[in-house]
Amino acid sequence: MQKAIKWLDALKISYHFHNYKESGIDEATLKIWLSHFPTNLLINTKGTTYKALSDADKASIADPSCTIALMMANTSLIKRPVWDFGNGKFLLGWNETEVKKIIG
């Protein structure tokens, strides 16, 4: 996140940052993200939050409604950053080359 924000600021690119770790995330947004990204990419399986989940919760991630409930309850499960360019294009993670391609 810090690299992405510093890069945007350095280039004076306007953006809106929604800190879902502090402000939460809504079901509608998660449904949109899940329509663009497979669950196994959107969930941060390397993080401590995922590792602390019960085996039953980990297994329930295959069900989108369970995944949404888990992500709403544990926003640290969501990989960051999730880019919404406002034009139907989305990107997951920080990749300067890919961001440049999308924003021109």
Domain ranges of the chain: 2-103
What are the φ and ψ backbone dihedral angles of 96, each rounded to 5 degrees? -55, -45
For residues 92 and 58, give the distance between their C-alpha atoms in angstroms, rounded to a whole number: 21
Specify the pTM.
0.87
Please give the Cα distance from 50 to 27 (Å, whole number). Answer: 19
Helix or strand holding residue 91 (H, E) = strand 90-92
pLDDT digits (tens, 9 = 90+) for 19-66: 988 899 999 999 999 999 999 899 999 999 999 999 999 999 989 889
For residues 60-88, average pLDDT:
93
Q: Which CATH superfamily is domain 2-103 in?
A: Glutaredoxin (3.40.30.10)
Residue 48 has a CB neighbour count (10 Å cut-off) of 8
Q: What local confidence, expressed as pLDDT, does residue 1 receive?
A: 82
Tens of pLDDT, residues 4-32? 999 999 999 999 999 988 899 999 999 99
Largest CA distance in the chain: 45
